[in-house]
Amino acid sequence: AQRVTQPEKLLSVFKGAPVELKCNYSYSGSPELFWYVQYSRQRLQLLLRHISRESIKGFTADLNKGETSFHLKKPFAQEEDSAMYYCALSGNTGFQKLVFGTGTRLLVSP
């Protein structure tokens, strides 16, 4: 079964501090991992996906298959980063759906 765990409901940091949003997953095959961001109950926007290995808005995430993790990191948080962040997973064979974690609210204070 597919499962995504985000252990922190809220992460509060000061502007300029490093940020790490944790995500662990459970999947028997090779997963595809994503991070989505949601500002103020608006639509979810794709932030990044592990297969593209890109950096968006200064955020990066590395898939660690040994630890089954896909933590989201940013070296210097900005106030505009305050939002809900969802880690999501899909399998990579057959016809897959996207399963989300419960989300972490990031609050960046000035």
Partner 1 sequence: DSGVTQTPKHLITATGQRVTLRCSPRSGDLSVYWYQQSLDQGLQFLIQYYNGEERAKGNILERFSAQQFPDLHSELNLSSLELGDSALYFCASSAQGANGNTIYFGEGSWLTVV
Name the segment binding partner 1 (CB under 8 A); options: 13-21, 44-52, 63-71, 75-83.
44-52
Query: How many residues at the interface with partner 1, by CB under 8 A?
Result: 24
Task: Report if residue 24 touches partner 1, rule: CB under 8 A.
Answer: no
Considering only residues 5, 8, 24, 44, which one is a binding residue for partner 1 as defined by CB under 8 A?
44
103 binds partner 1 (CB under 8 A): yes
Among 31, 73, 78, 66, smallest CA distance to 50 is for 31
- The set of long-range contacts for 62-66, using a CB threshold of 8 Å and a minimum separation of 24, is 63/33
- CA dist 8 and 10 (Å) reads 5
The stretch near partner 1 (CB under 8 A) out of 15-23, 61-69, 73-81, 97-105 is 97-105
| CA distances to 49, 61, 78, 80 from 15, in Å | 25, 20, 5, 10
Residue 90 contacts partner 1 per CB under 8 A: yes
Among 35, 49, 72, 81, binds partner 1 (CB under 8 A): 49
Residues that bind partner 1 (CB under 8 A): 32, 36, 41-46, 49, 86, 90-103
